[in-house]
Structure 1
């Protein structure tokens, strides 16, 4: 029996595939490689290049590989982009999942793990924010994920599909062994941008909003190391296999760091300064987002290993330096050729 991972060649997906394979799982991946990289996957995990919305492809993979569980990452994740092109997000996130669930029901899949987001909460009334908090997304990205959560709940109720919804807070860092990390061009993740500035690939880093009612005026985020998040997916799979009921879980550490604190952590780790430019607030940005993690710590067999901002920054920097050196070597090779 196998686990199907959609979007498994992407940032979080590839880390999860490695975690599953290292735990002895048989894993098969579907990814269209629009933001993923085939070289990040272990050799033992076959990759089918295509769209998770392609019902014929998905059904064929499930049948050929004896898939019994699905972990669904495939989708679009950039808040500002979703504000500019909302229909693309409803297509890539909500409609794709509808097609995937249709095949899952047809094939009798009864375990499903969904990659959701803390953006479904909008600006929370309570911090840390519990899973029971009202869902009032401020962006089409958050709305598209919330629509999918509702759809998954309804499908599960109608067809006996147990599921885990994992609401990610701010995912950051990279594999401690530097086998993979965030490599998508034009990424908007704060720590990614900061380490690009630290390695000289950006002239500056923009801070959007310094007039929020927070201690230093910048937004506050709960960062979670991508490797810890990958292990949360592995633990969620074990949870479902144990016959436990469907559940929605926050994925964070339960502590917040401001944008300016995060930039200072990167400066300390890299030992270099880089320019910061202050800009107005962006539409769709949330002021403070910190997870109430009591439920995930009580429900899953999951203990974070990298709950430290400087460790997260160090792993992100290590990965970025590796990418930078590889690009320089490729450019030199191209010139000499």
Structure 2
């Protein structure tokens, strides 16, 4: 699959540079916010996001819960915007908004309800002039710059890096802070890892699974979404802990499966799962292996567990862009989709 400079490819390639710029520009802001959160000691984090941003929030759940021991739950924006249900007793809670545009009415209504309930609202938004950025108690700019392709790439990775930076400062984790300061170079290198073997296998595919767990569960959801958006592939994301139930019934010979293993304790379940897929003669690809019966995808090793997923999705974006073109589709402008979806 030959390379051309689509907007998606160009923007995804910029992600490493954006992370470097973001970490430097937000250093003082994140340091102050980390100190504020340590003083406030939030008893709960509620995330508020949609689409790719919600997949970033899923990553944030595992990052915050495993590093800080604070419970993270997902707020359903429609409970505020459609049902008008007031939020209650959020004094001492952190309401974390993640959005590229910061304009969706349901997100804005949720922010208003959260503030009325006493929550401390932090918004990670790419548009500094957006209503969400202005409504938050603290605004964290993503610094991704204009993103013109419909499929979000650099803004998604920028959301992940902002979450990691926040967790590093909040937890006073010197190793994680050093890792996020070096992450941009690893993300840039990962974009050029050759995952084209996946694209070749999916050229005529109709359906597949993307499997993650823990820190890579939200990454798996993001990958599945991008395959739907850009290649019209029916891709479903599952946790390695859950896919053995009902979903396994549809796996047969040649069924494509992409395993995105985390670089931590949660990877322990992947070898047996890979072996089980291979026993069903599925076509298994794995990042974070090698695993039994799987085709190994080139993946950087020795990275901090929170940084590795950013590199894995960076490698995937290059593959997904090429696959979309090979399937005769325009990854910059998928049919029936708009760049900003403003849900009520």
Give TM-score scaled by structure 2 length: 0.34
Ranked by relative contact order (alpha carbons within 8 Å, sequence separation 6 or more), the top structure is: 2
Q: Higher helix proportion, which one?
A: 2
TM-score relative to the length of structure 1: 0.34
